[in-house]
């Protein structure tokens, strides 16, 4: 008659549980770090795609197309996400002077093109370089010539107040060295460059 198999002893069970806890304590932070990195990378890529799409639409349709912060009422922050739209000129708004101005919202009709909401720790902000303070810029506008303008009513001689978007995740702590950051640097002519930046390189996560 075969002997019945023996179960784990209490000591063996405790050792197994201890090893599992150690492995989880090592693996979970690494996985969280990887997920945060991928989310920042994907969000930055989406923003770059929308900037390229807005420029292409402006050129092909001979109109001005904006990439603006999603929430127009939160003091210039892009934390809620962004949207892409064109201004539909009317007799009451022939120049489409500034679609981000609430006072002109009733006169200037918008043609929505795309929306990208954000959530969690992901943040987007506008600035002059990765280490500079955030600059309040409600929108970037592409003209029919493919160039960038600070508002709908600006001319080619108007200077942009910013030259970069920052997409970041501060990992919910105050340790700058583990912040995940990607920068989209752009030029008046419309070219955009996407690259990763760290705190060691002077990068500062969005507030």
Q: Which residues of the chain have pLDDT under 70?
A: 1-8, 23-30, 72-77, 88-108, 136, 150-159, 188
Kindly tell me the burial class for residue 85, based on how many C-beta atoms sit within 10 Å of its own C-beta (0-12, 13-18, 19 or more). buried
| DSSP H helical ranges for 79-176 | none
State the CATH number of the domain containing residue 44.
3.55.40.10
Residue 50 lies in a domain: yes
Range of the domain at 73: 10-201
Residue 206 lies in a domain: no
- Residue by residue, DSSP assigns 27-41 as HHHHHHHHHHHHHHH
The SS3 of residue 62 is coil
pLDDT of residue 57: 92
Q: Compute the distance between CA of residue 117 and CA of residue 98 in angstroms, rounded to an integer.
A: 22
Residue 54 lies in a domain: yes
Q: Compute the distance between CA of residue 187 and CA of residue 172 in angstroms, rounded to an integer.
A: 32
pLDDT of residue 99: 46
Residue 2 lies in a domain: no
pLDDT of residue 33: 83
pTM summary value: 0.75
pLDDT of residue 56: 93
Number of domains in the chain: 1
pLDDT of residue 28: 57
Residue 207 lies in a domain: no
Residue 41 lies in a domain: yes
Residue 70 lies in a domain: yes
| Paired tokens of 135 | 């600059």
pLDDT of residue 22: 72
DSSP state of 1: -
């Amino acid at each position: 008659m075969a002997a019945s198999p023996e179960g784990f002893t209490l000591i063996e069970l405790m050792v197994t549980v201890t090893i599992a806890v150690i492995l989880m304590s090592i693996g979970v932070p690494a996985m969280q770090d990887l997920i945060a990195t991928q989310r920042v990378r994907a969000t930055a890529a989406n923003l770059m795609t929308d900037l390229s799409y807005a420029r292409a639409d402006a050129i092909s349709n001979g109109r001005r197309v904006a990439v603006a912060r999603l929430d127009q009422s939160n003091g210039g922050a892009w934390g809620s996400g962004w949207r892409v739209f064109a201004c539909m000129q009317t007799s009451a708004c022939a120049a489409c002077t500034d679609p981000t101005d609430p006072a002109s919202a009733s006169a200037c009709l918008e043609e929505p093109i795309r929306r990208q909401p954000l959530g969690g720790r992901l943040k987007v902000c506008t600035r002059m370089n990765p280490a500079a303070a955030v600059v309040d810029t409600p929108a970037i506008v592409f003209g029919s010539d493919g160039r960038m303008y600070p508002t709908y009513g600006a001319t080619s001689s108007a200077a942009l107040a910013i030259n970069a978007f920052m997409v970041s995740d501060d990992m919910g702590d105050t340790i700058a060295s583990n912040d995940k950051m990607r920068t989209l640097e752009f030029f008046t002519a419309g070219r955009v460059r996407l690259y990763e930046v760290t705190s060691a390189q002077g990068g500062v996560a969005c507030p």
